[in-house]
Structure 1
Amino acid sequence: MSDYPLIADHGLIGDLQTAALVATDGSIDWFCSPRFDSPSVFGALLDHARGGYLRVRPTVDVVTSKQLYLPDTAILVTRFMTEDGVGEVVDFMPTSATTAPTSRHRLVRMVRCVRGQITFDVEIAPRFDYGRETHQATVSDDGVVFRGQHTSMAVHLVREPEDERLAEGTVDEEGDVHARLPLTAGMMRGVVVETGATEAHQMRVAAVRELFDETVRFWESWLAQSTYFGRWREMVHRSAITLKLMTYAPTGGLVAAPTAGLPEQIGGERNWDYRYTWVRDASFSVYSLLGLGFREEAAAFAGWLRDRVRDQGADGEGPLQIMYRIDGSSELSEETLEHWEGYRGSSPVRIGNGAAGQLQLDIYGEAIDSIYFADKHGIQTGHPGWLKLVDVLNWLADNWDQPEEGIWETRGGRQDFTYGRLMCWVAFDRGIRLATSHGRPAPVDRWRHERDAVYNQIMERGWSHERQAFVQHYRTDVLDASLLRMSNVGFVSPTDPMWASTLEAMDGELVTDSLVYRYDPDASPDGLRGSEGTFSLCSFAYVDALARAGHVGKARLIFEKMLTYANHLGLYSEEIALTGEQIGNFPQAFTHLALIDAALRLNAILDQTKPALRAQPLSTVPGQRAPVPASTDADGTAATDTTAAQPAAPPDRASSG
Structure 2
Amino acid sequence: MADHHPERQSAIDAHGIIGDMRSAALVNDKGSVDFFCWPEFDSPSIFCSLLDTPEAGIFQLSPDLPDARREQIYLPDTNVLQTRWLSDRAVVEVTDLLPIGDSEDDLPVLMRRVRVVSGEATFHMRCAVRHDYARANTRARMEARDVAFDADDQPSLRLSSDQAMHVDGAAAVAEFTLKQDQSAQFLLGGFDDPRFKEGAAQLCLERTLKFWRDWSAQSTYRGRWREMVNRSALALKLLTSRKHGAILAAATFGLPETPGGERNWDYRYTWIRDASFTVYAFMRLGFVQEANDYMRWLRGRVSDSHGQSMKLNILYAIDGRQELPETELSHLAGHGGATPVRIGNAAYDQVQLDIFGELMDAVYLVNKYGDAISHEGWKHVVEVVDQVCETWQQEDVGIWEMRGEQHHFLHSRLMCWVALDRAIRLASKRSLPAPFARWDQTRQAIYVDIWENFWNQERGHFVQYRGGTALDGSMLLMPLVRFVSAKDPRWLATLEAIQKTLVRDGMVYRYRNEDEGIDGLDGTEGAFAACSFWYVECLARAGQLEKAHLEFEQLLRYANPLGLYAEELDSHARHLGNTPQALTHLALISAACFLDRKLSGEKSVWQP
TM-score range, shorter chain: over 0.9
Q: Give runs of aligned pairs for residues 219-258 of structure 1, distance below 5 A.
A: 219-258=212-251
Whether contact under 8 Å (2:512, 2:524) holds in the other structure is no
The one of 182, 186, 206 equivalent to 2:181 is: 186
Q: CA deviation at 1:181?
A: 2.8
Q: Give runs of aligned pairs for residues 225-624 of structure 1, distance below 5 A.
A: 225-310=218-303, 317-525=309-517, 526-608=519-601
Whether contact under 8 Å (1:262, 1:343) holds in the other structure is yes
**1:510-561, Cα deviation, whole Å (9 max, x unpaired):** 1111111111112342100011111000000000111011001000000000
Cα distance in 2 between the residues matched to 1:590 and 1:89 = 30
Tell me: CA distance 1:513–1:38, structure 2 relative to 1, closer, same or farther (3 Å).
same
The one of 30, 45, 50 equivalent to 1:40 is: 45
- Count of equivalent residues: 602
Do residues 108 (structure 1) and 103 (structure 2) align? no
Do residues 97 (structure 1) and 90 (structure 2) align? no
SS of corresponding position for 1:221: helix
Cα distance in 1 between the residues matched to 2:339 and 2:146 = 36
Aligned to 2:604: 646
Cα distance in 1 between the residues matched to 2:263 and 2:316 = 20
Whether contact under 8 Å (1:62, 1:80) holds in the other structure is no
Tell me: CA distance 1:554–1:199, structure 2 relative to 1, closer, same or farther (3 Å).
closer
Q: Is there any run of 5+ residues in structure 1 with no aligned partner, and where?
A: 160-166, 610-644
Cα distance in 1 between the residues matched to 2:196 and 2:214 = 30
Tell me: CA distance 1:540–1:199, structure 2 relative to 1, closer, same or farther (3 Å).
closer
**1:330-353, Cα deviation, whole Å (9 max, x unpaired):** 010001001111001000000000
Cα distance in 1 between the residues matched to 2:276 and 2:551 = 25
Cα distance in 2 between the residues matched to 1:138 and 1:83 = 38
SS of corresponding position for 2:348: helix
SS of corresponding position for 2:91: strand
SS of corresponding position for 1:152: coil
Give the TM-score taking structure 2 as reference length. 0.96
Aligned to 1:58: 63
Q: CA deviation at 1:489?
A: 1.0
The one of 119, 127, 130 equivalent to 2:130 is: 127
Bigger mean CA deviation after superposition, 319-328 or 139-148? 139-148
SS of corresponding position for 2:50: coil
- Which amino acid letter does the alignment assign opposite residue 215 of structure 1? T
**1:278-321, Cα deviation, whole Å (9 max, x unpaired):** 0111331101110000001100111111100157699x951410
SS of corresponding position for 1:215: helix
**1:413-471, Cα deviation, whole Å (9 max, x unpaired):** 11000000000000000001111111111111111111111100000111111121111
Cα distance in 1 between the residues matched to 2:555 and 2:134 = 37
Tell me: CA distance 1:200–1:286, structure 2 relative to 1, closer, same or farther (3 Å).
closer
Aligned to 1:172: 168
Whether contact under 8 Å (1:11, 1:569) holds in the other structure is yes
Q: CA deviation at 1:155?
A: 3.7
Give the TM-score taking structure 1 as reference length. 0.89
Cα distance in 2 between the residues matched to 1:208 and 1:146 = 21
Tell me: CA distance 1:405–1:132, structure 2 relative to 1, closer, same or farther (3 Å).
same
Aligned to 2:3: none
Do residues 197 (structure 1) and 191 (structure 2) align? yes
SS of corresponding position for 1:116: strand
Whether contact under 8 Å (1:556, 1:602) holds in the other structure is yes
Cα distance in 2 between the residues matched to 1:297 and 1:264 = 30
Tell me: CA distance 1:121–1:282, structure 2 relative to 1, closer, same or farther (3 Å).
farther
Whether contact under 8 Å (1:50, 1:340) holds in the other structure is no
Cα distance in 2 between the residues matched to 1:83 and 1:345 = 37
Cα distance in 2 between the residues matched to 1:444 and 1:34 = 48
- Which amino acid letter does the alignment assign opposite residue 107 of structure 1? L
Q: Give runs of aligned pairs for residues 141-152 of structure 1, distance below 5 A.
A: 141-152=144-155
Cα distance in 1 between the residues matched to 2:125 and 2:158 = 12
Q: CA deviation at 1:375?
A: 1.1
Tell me: CA distance 1:78–1:311, structure 2 relative to 1, closer, same or farther (3 Å).
closer
Whether contact under 8 Å (1:52, 1:127) holds in the other structure is yes
Cα distance in 1 between the residues matched to 2:572 and 2:443 = 44
Q: CA deviation at 1:142?
A: 3.2
Whether contact under 8 Å (2:81, 2:97) holds in the other structure is yes
Whether contact under 8 Å (1:142, 1:202) holds in the other structure is no
Cα distance in 1 between the residues matched to 2:475 and 2:12 = 29
Cα distance in 1 between the residues matched to 2:202 and 2:192 = 24
Cα distance in 1 between the residues matched to 2:464 and 2:99 = 45
Do residues 26 (structure 1) and 36 (structure 2) align? no
Tell me: CA distance 1:218–1:202, structure 2 relative to 1, closer, same or farther (3 Å).
closer
Cα distance in 2 between the residues matched to 1:77 and 1:185 = 17
Whether contact under 8 Å (1:342, 1:349) holds in the other structure is yes
Tell me: CA distance 1:362–1:237, structure 2 relative to 1, closer, same or farther (3 Å).
same
**1:232-288, Cα deviation, whole Å (9 max, x unpaired):** 000000000000000011111111000000001111000000000001113311011
Tell me: CA distance 1:260–1:86, structure 2 relative to 1, closer, same or farther (3 Å).
same
Q: CA deviation at 1:407?
A: 0.4
Cα distance in 2 between the residues matched to 1:379 and 1:310 = 18
Cα distance in 1 between the residues matched to 2:490 and 2:556 = 30
Whether contact under 8 Å (2:112, 2:186) holds in the other structure is yes
Bigger mean CA deviation after superposition, 180-189 or 16-25? 180-189
Cα distance in 2 between the residues matched to 1:310 and 1:528 = 35
Cα distance in 2 between the residues matched to 1:370 and 1:200 = 40
Cα distance in 2 between the residues matched to 1:394 and 1:591 = 32
Whether contact under 8 Å (2:239, 2:248) holds in the other structure is yes
